[in-house]
Every structure is written in structure tokens, then in C-alpha cells.
Structure 1
Amino acid sequence: MVYGGKPSTGCHLCRKRKIKVGQIYKLHLCHNPCYIYLIPLDGKFPCLAHSTLSASQCDEEHPGCRNCTIYGQPCPGYRSDGIFRNETHKIQELVKKTRSSLPSGKPPSSHDLSAGSGRQKSPLSIYRISDSTWEEKAICYFFDQYTICDTTGGVGHLGFVPSLYAACRDQSSSDPASSSLRLAVDATALMALSNRVKAPEIVAQARNRFGLALRRFQEALDLPVEAVKDETFATLVILSMFEDISGDRLGLTSSHTAGFEALTKLRGESQLGHARGLDMFKFAYVHMQVEFLLLRGRTTIDPDWIVERLDSADPLQSLMILASKTTQLLTEPWSTSTSLGSAGVTKLASWIDSCRALDAELVRWSQSLPDMWLPLETRSYTGEDVLTYREMIIATIWAHFRAVRILVYLTMVDLFRTLSSVVNSPGIHREASQYEIDGLRLSLDLISETCRSVPFYFGEIDLLGNPIPPSAEGTTRVRAFWVYSMLWPLWYIVSCGLATPEQTQMIREVLARTGSELGIKLAIMLAGYDGQGAMPSPPEIYSFEQSVGGLSAM
């Protein structure tokens, strides 16, 4: 007989309804251990809170607990303190199984016994922790790694998702918008955790829920009242993340960009009138702008509508305004039917002047930022000169800013070269040559700044350049969302053709490594893609030989 561990001390009904007492999960997946409390609400799936447990847990009062009173049922009472169970048969079977796998006559050692349990066909038992399910662990991991509340810089991303998800799980209605969001979050969380801990067995669960989420999402789009709900737009946000985490992109273009455009126009300006709507819009707008700018797409959203409704005093929204202007300006020369030369001298000169004005606005943006938004030059513990930032969100915004400036420069170089080829003027030739020299120097400086920021981007150093020790599993300390946010500006640096071989190799290596560690397949795919030809297939990142200690702390 063995002692079965400390049992739940809640009443029989609370235990049946899976309302636990003081259930805490400890995550060693970010810079510091993160304690997340799961608060079951009336027997439904637990929501998240970063505070003390609420009265939803069993309060263990006598003669009956408060939860049973609220639930409308008599409290059945509590079980005795001592709980033992007979494990003799299980131990006998384990020893018998281990002996059968050993050479004849060799006695089993303690190492053999522990190794034998790890050779099961399914590794899920290795990851399984008592009192928690795969769904619970996945939701904990996803919310911790992919949702960011407001930071010191006043900016967060997807911070609304945990509360919105909890509300959808708690409400009794099963409308398409709410159920599609629940399923989308469950699917993406399961896929993210599966990739992170290399457990392919739960991929089938993730894809099944993804399919159900798509079906309910389509039902929501077919109903005018449901289509404009925050839950519907949030579902599209989460589905786009599933596509990138799972590596399901068929090319550089996301399959959800058209949906973002359609829903943004359908929801209108009302979505910018509250924090949740603005947060979702910012995520979607950045998603769209990356595709329009770096992949030279074309938007159907009126840029003036965006510019008029964003706050130019906010650094992030101000940069969004400039990105919108950039899209509006560059779409015309990019969409020229034959060649830039066919546009004519007047049009070429007009485009060049507009690009210069836009670049001047970008410079003013960088010069008007508050001090806390400025990069910090410091010396790393390795002796290298590096750039650090007060917040990771500020670092990601600077990465996008530099990519946009380089893009404007490259477009202007094309315009100058075309103008000098169609106009036989020494003055224009000298101006074009001088701009190309100055612009190249500027772009190389911007690329250098990006590369000098890489150690901070990926959690290798802190604000002062000191090393950040890896986690207990030897993986990076940076949260997955920050790596996810850096993918496109870093890929553009690699694919624009201006980075040195050393810079290119460094970025490719860090994208591949962190993409593998954090389970973001798009990162691995972009690390090996230069923009030419077909997009590489999603990598196989699962390995049963890898350590499973990454989940043991959860």
C-alpha cells in the first residue's frame, strides 16, 4: 500500500464538478516564473486571473460549502483525510514488463525502471500532470506566451483575449461568434503547446477544433448581427495565428488578409471607440500592412479613413498612420502595368518627391519619440556594441520602422534609376548617383541597428547588456509573441539583398533556433526562404528523443 499524495479537500460535489481548491500552475517559460491561477466557474472550463483565488473555489465550510448553496444543491460533505490505494499490482506489472525487455539474467536497475516507463508508445503520460488536462495546460501556455497586457510603454497586444475567452466559456448561449472564438483559442493553444513540447499526439485535437472553429466562424459571418461582434473579429485574429504557428501558409500571403479587410470595413469606425476593438484593429492592421508593404500587395481599405481615426500622438498609432501613407504612395508605382519608365518623367518626379516627403516624416517620427521609446546603446557581456530597449514592444515597433524606411529607400532608388535612364540630364544623373550612395549608407546603418538589437530581441541579454540565463530546459527566455512579432521585419532584412552574409546568417540561425524552441513553424520556414520560388514545406519539429522536461515544471 502506498500513500496516494495529498488529495483534494473540497466537498464531494465540488470535486465532481472539478472545482479545485487553490489550484496553481507554475510556468517557467518566460523571464521569471509565472504563477497562473485557474478559477473554475460553476464547473465549466477555468478562466485565468493573476490574483488570489476567488470565491468560485470550494470554501470547505461546514456543514456545507457556499458553492453548493449557490449551485442550488445540498452539500454532500467531505471525505476523510487519509486516502490510500493499492498499487501492488501496478508495480508488479511494471517490473514484469521491464524484465521482459532486458537481456536474460540481468536484474532491473532503478534507471531501467524509469527508462521503461518512457518507452511507451504515447509520450502523453510523461507530460500528464495530476489535476490538469491538456486543454488547461495549453490555455495557460497560450495566454502566457501570446497575450500581452499593457506595458510600461502603454502598448499591449491581444491582452483582451483571456477575458473575452472566459466570458465566452462562461455564458450559456452558443451563438456562432462566441463558440467560434472558444474553438479557435482551444485549437491554437493546443497547436502552440504541441509544437512547444514536441507532442504530435495532440495535433489531431487541435486540427479538429480548428475545423469546427472555421465552420462556426462561417456561420457567424452569414449573420449580420454576429459578423460585427468583437468575438467574430477576435476569432479571425486567432485563426491567423494558428496558420502561422502550425506552418499552414501555402506561401508568403496569409489566407486571412482578405477577411481582415472585409471585417474591418464592415465594423467601421465604431471598432476604434473602445480599448478591445482598438487592440484587435491594431493587430489586424499590422498583419495587413506587412503583407501590403513587404509583399507588395494592394489594399482595398481607404487609407484616409485610417489616418483620420488614429491618434497621431501615440507612437504606435502614429507609425500605423505612416505605414498607411506608405502603402498609399507605393501602390501606384508598384502597380504600373509595364515598367516604371512608361509612367513618364512628370510622374516619376512626383513619386520621388512624395517618397522624400514620406521619408522625412519617418525621420520626424523617430526624433519626436519620448525618451523611454528610444533605443539604448550599451556594451554586451560579450564585448559587442548592442542596442537594448525598455520594453520588448518598443523593440518590435523599431524593427518594423526600420523595415519601412529601407523599403521606401529601395523604391526611391528604383525611381531615380528609371528617371536617369529616360532623361539625359547630367544633373539628374548626379542627383540619382548621390542619393543611391547616401540611401545605401542609411539602409546599411538601419540593418546594422536591427542586427545589433537581435540579442535583446531574442532574450539573450537584458536592458544593460547582461546575459539572461536560459530556462531550466536550455531554451530562450523570450516570450513567443515577441518572436512572432519580429518575423516579418527580420525576414525582410534577409531578403532585401542589402545585408552582409554574416548578418544574413545570424538572422537565419536565430529564426530557425527560436522557431524550433518555441514551436512557431513560420519562423523556421522564413529562416530558409529568400522570397524566390516556392515557400518551403512546414518543418517536422517533433522528436521523441528530445527532453520532455519543458513541461515538467507546468
Structure 2
Amino acid sequence: MVYGGKPSTGCYLCRKRKIKCDEARPGCRNCDIYGRPCPGYRPDAVFRNETRKVERLAKKDISSSISESNSSSSSSSSQALTVVDRQHQPSSTLSLHRIADATWENRALCYFFDQYTIADNKDEGLSGHLEYLPPLYARAAEVESTAKGSPAACLRSAVDATALMTLANSSNSPPLMIKARYKYGKALRGLREALASPDSAVKDETFASVMLLSLYEDISGERNGLFSSHTAGFEFLMKLRGEGQLDHRRGRDMFNFAYAHTYVEILALGDKPRHDIDWVMGLLDRNDPIEGLMLAASRISQLFVSMQKAPNPPELATVEQWIETGRRSDDELSQWPLQLPDRWLPLIVYSTAGEPLMVYKCIANAIIWNYYRAARVMLQQLLFSINRTYLSIIKKSGKPDDPSQAGSALDETVLRAVVREMTTDVCNSIPFSLSDVDELGRPTSSLDGKPIRAAQAFGLIWPLWYILSWGLPTEAQFNQIREVLWRIGSTLGIKLALILAREAERMRSEPSAPAVGFSGC
């Protein structure tokens, strides 16, 4: 049975505005942000029976055998994957909370594959998201019965854990969360066994397991603060797998996922790399839009790491070298849009209210553009920090007016202008990125609009977070982005978005609080 949706339990104003309500008592947070008193909720009795039914069914499954027989698992997985394969047909969209005669594991599996796996868009030259996971999972089911403790068994547990947590958050079911955590622990034990063997450690199933466990961490909101506990694993396995992982499509897609994850930690959170993966820069194609952007992010991170390692205060010659490196990186980034095919370029349209909007051929393009804008903001802020260090050294030298030094200083007005331009462009692209408007800027309805998938929303989180924290947003822009993060976290169940929204609020309310990203030289 296809899930048709349950009545909203949100407050009257949130339901009228058609946004996800956090259902706080006595009044919801969205109404407070909106500047209106919360009008309250429907009587609890309207919804109580359905919630208890969901929990009763989940508890019934938990009380049954946790581990199904291998033959049953293989058969049921094949049935689930048969249903999931339909998602790749344009005429079919799954919203699978309920499938007749299916276990909660299979319901969760179908729902997760629908929300987080996206096929290639060959017409646009875009790779998909985790599109290789369903066949890899099916293959793992075939070998698991003869290879307990293998990478295949680890992958199965990692996928099951992530799928159960995805459905648990979507349906607000604590019993499913318990099952998800049980599977997560099982996957961690399997991963330790796989990493203990040199042959198993380099397999795609092992690498994919780390990817799934990191995704689980973000969906459940169980990071170590803002840092992922799986970043070190990504760095180790990328190095261990070597150049050969880039020789085939699946390996390259996995690498891109891990590479982006690693550099988010470095650039957005100020983490330090544990393993040298700069060797891969020579293998990336700078003419490919996505890999060219990855190269630019790598050079920014090299500059940032160089600043972290330098003595405090650094020498003047070193700072001048940083400025020159930063300028070259900014020139490279500014050229990135000029190399894109026309179908990748954004268009400016106007909403029914006359507001400028940026629209694209597809949401994937909007996500990539927002990563580009976030990278430019990161670099401008880094250059701003370097320039302040440079001016401080010049001032202490007693020669602040030395003409020989004037050419090295940066124009901070220009830096701020670029940051504000990127921030505005990100905000103008949000309605399209969330499928709230179509390619012409017209509002979409629940009937004719294409709802955003969780994988697409997941791709928006880090660029929005960085713009929110470092993009010099106006008050209106700050509230707009913060509300989007709350919406992603509450509607699609990606708890990381809620954590980042709260952290941004903390940073804004406490200007003296230490920032997570760049902190100067």
C-alpha cells in the first residue's frame, strides 16, 4: 500500500503556511520566528490512535526475532529492491511508509532508497547520488549467508541502520530508532572486522559502509558536536584504496562523496587532515565542473592548513605568499562559471511578488552552484583574515606607509562585496532548490510540484550553514536560511540541519563566542 500521508499534527498557523511545525508546547518555534503568537493545536485525540498503531506494530517486530533467517532476508530484500527499481521511472514516485505484507525493515529500505538514491542525469552530465547502492546491497544479500563478518554483511547492517533511522525520523517512531541503533552497533562491529583484513578493507562494500554510517550520523544528529566520527576513516580508506579507485565509475562516485565530506570538515569546521590525500589532485579533471570545483576546494584547504601550521605571528614573506596564493585561487574560482555549459547556468526570473529568483535546469545544478558560492565565501573570509595579519605586521614594523608594501594589501571592500553577492545569490536560489517554485518562478503546489528528495536537501545543508555563519547575511537572509535548515531537519528528518541551525543562532547571539571555521592567523 502506498502511504497517502497522515493528518498534520502541527499548529493552525504552520498548517496554514504549509510548513513543518516543531510542535513545541505551549507554542511552536516557527510562529515565534514568524513573529506571530502560536494559535495552538488540534485536540490530541484526533491523532493518538494512529501513532499508537505505528508504535504497536514496530514493537511487535522488535519482540520478534531481530535476525531473520538468511533465506528470508535474501528473498524479502529482492522483493524490496524490485519495488525500489521503479523509482528510476519518471512516472513513479514512492512514498513508502506502508507496503502490504512487508516488515518494517523492508518498508524502511524502500523509503530510504526512494529518498536517498538518485539516478544519473545523463542529459545534464550529472552523476546520481548513491545510485550504485541498491545493486550493491542486493549483491551483498547473495554472499552474506556464506561470509559472516564480511564487508557484505557490514554493508547490509549499515544500510539497514540508516534506512530504519530515516523512517524513524520521518514517522517519529522511537521503537524504530531503537532498531536502527541496534543495527548501527552491528555495522560498527562488522566494520572493525572488515578493516582488520587488508583484502576486505579496500573493498567497495567496506568503503560504502563508512559512507552509510556517516550518513546515519547526520540523519540521527549524533555527531561528536559538529564533527563526524567517520572522517578519519574516509581519509584512511581513500589513501589505502589508492589511484585504482578512480578507474571505475562506482569507485569514483564513492571517492567524490568521501572527498567532499572530508573537505567540509576542513573548510567549514576548521578540522585538520589526518592523512595526506593531496596526491589525488593530479588525478582530478579540472575541465569537469564538479571535479574542477573539488580541485579549487583542495587548494583553499591547502592554504588554510598552511596557515594553521605557521608560527604565530608568521613572517611577512610567508603572509605575502599566502596573499598571492589566495589571489590565484580566487581567480581560478571566478573563472569556474565561464567554463560551464549553458544548461548549467542559472537564470534570473521574478516571483509573483516581483522578487528576483535564481532558477536552474534541475535541483542538482542549484546544489553545485551553492557549493561554489560557499567556497568563494570561504576564500574571501580567509583572505580577509590573512590581510588583517599582513596589515598588523606592517604596522608593527614601523613602516605602514612603505610604498613597496602597498601592492600586497587586499581591498577589504571588494572582499565583502563578493561575500554579500554570493550570499544574495544563495538566498535567491533557495525557493527553486526546495521545489517551492518551478523553472519560471511560479509557485508549485502539492499536486503539480515535484517534492524535494532527502538527498537533495542533504546537499543543501553545508552550503547554507556556511553562508549562514560566514556569509554576512542580513537579518532577513539569516532568518530565511535558518528557517530552511529547520524545515529540512523537521520535515525530512535530517537532524544535522537542526543542530547547525541552533549553532548558527548561538554564534549570532554571542558575537564573542569562538567560531568553528577560520579564526585568523
- Mapping 1:251-290, distance limit 5 Å: 251-290=225-264
Which protein shows a greater Rg? Answer: 1
Identity %: 42
Q: Note if 1:416 corresponds to 2:391.
A: no
How far 1:236 sits from its partner (Å)?
0.2
Q: 2:400 aligns with which of 400, 425, 432?
A: 425
- Structure with more contact order per residue of length (Cα contacts < 8 Å, sep ≥ 6): 1
Q: Give 5+ residue unaligned stretches, structure 2.
A: 7-71, 88-96, 508-512, 516-521
**Partner of 1:498 in structure 2?**
472
Q: TM-score, normalised by structure 1?
A: 0.72
Q: Note if 1:161 corresponds to 2:133.
A: yes
Q: Give 5+ residue unaligned stretches, structure 1.
A: 1-23, 30-39, 54-126, 536-554
**Partner of 1:186 in structure 2?**
160
Aligned mates of 1:203, 1:51 — CA distance in 2: 26
Q: Is the 8 A contact 1:153 1:373 kept in 2?
A: no
How far 1:497 sits from its partner (Å)?
5.8
Compute the RMSD of aligned alpha carbons: 2.6
How far 1:313 sits from its partner (Å)?
2.1
Residue aligned with 1:43, SS:
helix
Q: 2:444 aligns with which of 468, 478, 482?
A: 468
How far 1:514 sits from its partner (Å)?
2.3
Q: Is the 8 A contact 1:153 1:391 kept in 2?
A: no
**Partner of 2:23 in structure 1?**
none
Whichever structure has more helix as a proportion of its residues is 2
How far 1:287 sits from its partner (Å)?
0.4
Q: Is the 8 A contact 2:420 2:471 kept in 1?
A: no
Aligned mates of 2:109, 2:514 — CA distance in 1: 34
Q: Is the 8 A contact 2:161 2:181 kept in 1?
A: yes
Q: Is the 8 A contact 2:112 2:167 kept in 1?
A: yes
Aligned mates of 1:232, 1:381 — CA distance in 2: 49
Q: Is the 8 A contact 1:244 1:520 kept in 2?
A: yes
Q: 2:414 aligns with which of 415, 421, 438?
A: 438
Aligned mates of 2:77, 2:471 — CA distance in 1: 49
Q: TM-score, normalised by structure 2?
A: 0.76
Question: Which amino acid is 1:463 matched to?
Answer: E
- Mapping 1:247-326, distance limit 5 Å: 247-326=221-300
Q: 2:116 aligns with which of 146, 160, 166?
A: 146
Q: Is the 8 A contact 1:303 1:324 kept in 2?
A: no
Instruction: Provide, for residues 406-430 of structure 1, a one-character-per-residue CA deviation record: whole Å limited to 9, x for no partner.
Output: 1111111122222222223335887
Residue aligned with 1:187, SS:
helix
Aligned mates of 2:140, 2:4 — CA distance in 1: 25
Residues 168 and 143 of structure 1, relative CA distance in 2, 3 Å threshold: same
Q: Is the 8 A contact 1:468 1:477 kept in 2?
A: no
Q: Note if 1:365 corresponds to 2:340.
A: no
Residues 221 and 433 of structure 1, relative CA distance in 2, 3 Å threshold: closer
Question: Which amino acid is 1:494 matched to?
Answer: L
How far 1:518 sits from its partner (Å)?
0.6
Residue aligned with 1:326, SS:
helix
Q: 2:201 aligns with which of 217, 223, 227?
A: 227
**Partner of 1:395 in structure 2?**
366
Residues 52 and 425 of structure 1, relative CA distance in 2, 3 Å threshold: closer
Q: Is the 8 A contact 1:155 1:393 kept in 2?
A: no
Residue aligned with 1:377, SS:
strand
Aligned mates of 2:491, 2:447 — CA distance in 1: 11
Q: Is the 8 A contact 1:217 1:235 kept in 2?
A: yes
**Partner of 2:81 in structure 1?**
48
Instruction: Provide, for residues 42-85 of structure 1, a one-character-per-residue CA deviation record: whole Å limited to 9, x for no partner.
Output: 734225246689xxxxxxxxxxxxxxxxxxxxxxxxxxxxxxxx
Q: 1:333 aligns with which of 284, 303, 307?
A: 307
How many residues are paired up? 424
